Chain A
Amino acid sequence: MKDHLPEPASLLPLPPATFHILLALAEEDRHGYAIIQNVARRTGGELKLSAGTLYRSLQRMLEQGLVVETRDRPSPEHDDERRRYYRITPYGTTVARAEARRLTQLVRLARESGFAVERA
């Protein structure tokens, strides 16, 4: 992780995979496969992160200081020692909020331009 974290705005726009991983980690710490499942569930199966995309994204996010690997593990009966658990950092939360704000403004602009966005 870098000693001096850059301005959150300098990381925007976030790649979609990065944003989804941050959203998946917002609720709780998760291991790789749990992130994939969470993203698939939240997007109704539209986005299925591959292992390659997930770990390449996580590697970059660890370097950028958006997430950290945590040593807190579940009880042994629910654990698998091959798994590594990831946690969103306060900086990661700030960047995710900035990205959400950017997307909200984008949607507002789209609405104002006549591109009606239907609510799901």
Chain B
Amino acid sequence: MRLYRALLRAYPSSFRAEYGDEMCAVFAERRRDTTHPLLVMVLWIEAFFDIAWNALAVHLDILCQDLRYAARMLARSPGFALTAVAVAALGIGATTAAFTMVDYVLIRPLPYADADRLVKLYQTTPVNGFKYWELSPANYRDWKRGSTSFESMGAFTGHLVSLTGQDEPLSVSAGQVTSEVFPMLGRQPILGRYFNAEEDHESASATVVLS
């Protein structure tokens, strides 16, 4: 009977408190009237599915009752109902927005290979109080030459440029990157290739990657 009583825990506690003992008594009587081992096994299987199905149904009954009660209460005072709906909508909206931001900024990994090994380096100038200051090209070269902690180091900077020559000029986001950046991110171009170290100096012909 201990097993049957344990199965009854699938029911809501209020239903169990009201009918649990009686259901146990009924099962005990059925168990007493069943003597053949095969029929006893069938009785237990029936009891398992009976409890699974009816416990779910009782939970749904209670949920429907609660929803009907809530609907009746809200219908009695439409002003309160509208306020409650508005507050709930605001709360859900704010929570969704906050989670979306946290998800993108803190939870999701960056869409690059070995994203957990990527770091962004800044220069600090304590005299001015600037903690995150972008490097000058000269400092970047010095750091790259002196660094022994990083497998690879590259530099990039972003800005807006104007695209002219076809109809109206277009403002497009662009960036200048050194040849180490793309291999470091582990992304392959869909067409063609990225530029290489030989092309990464001022006298080389200009190359561009479209994305």
Report the minimal beta-carbon distance from A69 to chain B, rounded to whole angstroms: 10
Q: With the chains together, A32 CA to B30 CA distance in Å? A: 11
Where chain B touches its partner, the secondary structure class is helix
Could you give, for residues 17-31 of chain B, a 1 whenever the CB lies within 8 Å of some chain A CB and a 0 otherwise?
A: 011011111110110
- Chain B residues 15-57 with CB under 8 Å of chain A are 15, 18-19, 21-27, 29-30, 46-47, 50-51, 53-55, 57
Known: A51-B50, A53-B54, A59-B15. Is A36-B26 also a contact (CB below 8 A)? Answer: yes
Known pairs A50-B46, A56-B58, A59-B15; A33 contacts B21 (CB<8 A): no
User: How many pairs, one residue from A and one from B, have CB atoms within 8 Å of each other in the complex?
Assistant: 53
Interface of A is mostly: helix
Smallest beta-carbon distance B178→chain A, Å: 71
Contact check, B22 vs A32: say whether CB atoms are below 8 A apart.
Answer: yes
Q: Chain A residues in contact with chain B, CB under 8 A?
A: 31-33, 36, 50-56, 58-60, 80, 82-84
Interface of B toward A, CB cutoff 8 Å: 15, 18-19, 21-27, 29-30, 46-47, 50-51, 53-55, 57-58, 61
Q: A55-B19, A82-B21 are in contact. List 17 more A-B contacts (CB 8 A).
A: A31-B22, A32-B26, A33-B25, A36-B26, A50-B50, A50-B54, A51-B30, A52-B50, A52-B51, A52-B53, A52-B54, A53-B50, A54-B26, A59-B19, A80-B25, A82-B22, A83-B22
